[in-house]
Amino acid sequence: MMTKPTLTEHRSPWVVFTSPADSWLTSETAALVQRNGLVLRLDGREMRDPASVFRTFARELSFLGDFGHNWDALVDCLHNWHGPGQGNQDLAILIEHADDLLKSDFLGLFVSVLAPGLSRNCWSRVR
C-alpha cells in the first residue's frame, strides 16, 4: 500500500504531480513553513527547454556561479544545495504552471534528475 505523500517527513515520493486546487498542497506547505521549512515557487512557463530549466533553477535556488547548466550539474547542485537556508531547512520546490512541462520531450529526464538529485532535506513538487 502506498503511503500518502508529505512535505514534513523525510521519505519518498520525492516528486509529486498535483494541481493548485489540491487541498493537500495548501496544508502540507503550511505545515512545512510552520516547521521552519522553505517553500520556493518556480514558474513552469519559464521552463520551455532544458536551458531555461537550468536558468530558472540557478536563479531561484541561488546556485553558485560555477553551475554547469546541464543535467549532471543540476543533480549535483540539488544534492549539495547552498541556497537560502544553507541546507539547514527542509525545502519544497513547487513548479507552478507546469502544464507545458507535462508535454515536453525532456519531462522523463527532468523527473529522473529531480528524484535522485534531491538530498534528504529537499523535495520537489510539480503542480
**How do the pLDDT tens digits run along the chain, 127 residues long?**
556 777 777 766 567 777 778 888 899 999 989 988 888 889 999 999 999 999 999 999 888 888 999 999 998 888 777 555 555 677 888 888 888 888 899 999 998 888 754 444 444 444 4
Distance, CA of 82 to CA of 104 (rounded, Å): 29
Distance, CA of 47 to CA of 30 (rounded, Å): 26
DSSP 85: T
The CA-atom distances, in angstroms, between 70 and each of 37, 54, 115, 118 are: 27, 7, 16, 16
State the sign of the Cα–Cα–Cα–Cα dihedral 96, 99, 74, 56. negative
- Can you give the pTM of this predicted structure? 0.78
